[in-house]
Amino acid sequence: MTIDYLANHEGCIPQLAQYSYDEWRPVYDQLGLTVDNAVASYRERTNIEALPLALVAIEHDQVIGTGALKLRDLVSRPQYEPWLGGLFVVPEFRRRGVGTALVHRLVAEALRLRLPQLYLWTPSAESLYARLGWGKVEALCYCGYEIVVMKKRVSAVTNYERG
């Protein structure tokens, strides 16, 4: 598996947008967003030296996961920024460490960009993120999901090397 910048793989944006739309359809619906909005969002994440920035996990020329760093995510929580968001692993590749590798690499990117902390929200992976050093900030309801907002300081040295 290789993890690289989305900027180097822009051809996979339509597929990533469809994955995101399918995975988080209730959020898209409640916010009045379409697949085209998801495509536009991914196109905005093709940065390397600034936010928003996305990474893709690739195996045998197939995109198997993605994750992003972005300035804002939850409209109702403008005081929290920046965010790790959009973490997605293709279902048949889940539980193989792809998500964990993406999180490690995104935290390394945040460190490279000198971001002091990151936030994220999750409806289902609180225990995963806790194992990776994230702490719970609050729980709330968002677009029909019971979610947890979590935070991680980005000051620790990481051993993750770029793939």
Q: Which of 62, 64, 47 is nearest to 6 (CA)?
A: 47
Q: Is there a domain that residue 158 lies in?
A: no
The CATH number linked to 6 is 3.40.630.30
Q: Is there a domain that residue 14 lies in?
A: yes
Q: Is there a domain that residue 88 lies in?
A: yes
What total number of domains does the chain contain? 1
> Is the pLDDT reported for residue 31 higher than 80?
yes
> Is the pLDDT reported for residue 156 higher than 60?
no
Q: Is there a domain that residue 162 lies in?
A: no
Residue 101 to residue 2: CA distance in whole angstroms:
10
- State residue 21's pLDDT score: 96
- State residue 63's pLDDT score: 95
Q: Is there a domain that residue 137 lies in?
A: yes
Q: Which of 55, 56, 90 is nearest to 69 (CA)?
A: 55
- Reported as a single tens digit per residue, the pLDDT across 126-155 is 999 999 999 999 999 998 889 999 999 997
- Reported as a single tens digit per residue, the pLDDT across 17-29 is 999 999 989 889 9
- State residue 132's pLDDT score: 94
Sheet holding 62-70, edge to edge: 2-5, 53-59, 62-70, 83-89, 117-122, 145-153, 135-142
Question: What does the pLDDT average to over 73-88?
Answer: 93
- State residue 162's pLDDT score: 38
Place of tokens 């390394």: 108
Domain residues for the domain of 83 are: 2-153
Residue 13 to residue 38: CA distance in whole angstroms:
9
